[in-house]
Amino acid sequence: MDSFILREEDYAIRIIIYLATEGKMVKTKDICKSLYLSRPIVVKIINKLKSCGFLITKTGKEGGLTIAEKIYDASLYDILQCMGFNSRMNQCTTHKATCKLMPICSVNVLFCEIQQDIENRLKQAKIKEFLFENRDRKLVN
């Protein structure tokens, strides 16, 4: 593993923030263009986010996708979980019974604390805190 949060998980967060900022129906092609992502990866992510109830899609000429109202109070952790996030500091934080050193290992205590801190920070970070400002969007377009 070369990163704690996988590429698709990261993109999912950015797609949600983009859509929440727009606050209206958006075409998939506009997401791809604005976030510099390929259509196949965006479609894959959209399908996962839709299955978790975070997105609303509409077909047809006036179609596109937008976020469900509940998304503003969702956390980054919620989005990551939807995408299958399961990163851990190491196996000791989830499989404690597999290590015979567990009763005397103080490194495990540190890893468990770090793991808990990361999860708590992600749970406290709400989507509404990350919406783009108009000036920010002009920089990328």
- Per-block mean pLDDT, blocks of 10 residues, the chain (141 long): 84 96 93 95 97 93 90 95 85 66 79 89 95 61 49
Please check whether residue 55 is in contact with residue 65, taking contact to mean a CB–CB distance below 8 angstroms. Answer: yes
Which of 39, 36, 40, 38 has its CA nearest to residue 140? 36
What does the pLDDT read at residue 94?
67
Q: Give long-range contacts, CB 8 A cutoff, 24+ apart: 109-115.
A: 114/89, 115/88, 115/89
Query: Residue 64: which H helix or E strand, with range?
Result: strand 64-67
CATH assignment of 7-85+126-140, given 3.30.420.40, 3.40.50.2000, 1.10.10.10, 3.30.360.10?
Answer: 1.10.10.10
Single-letter code of the amino acid located at 45: I
What does the pLDDT read at residue 108?
79
Helix, coil or strand: residue 118: helix
Q: Enumerate the β-bridge partners of residue 37.
A: none
What does the pLDDT read at residue 139?
45
Single-letter code of the amino acid located at 86: N
Please give the model's pTM, rounded to 2 decimal places: 0.84
Helix, coil or strand: residue 24: coil
Any idea where the domains of the chain sit in the sequence? 7-85+126-140
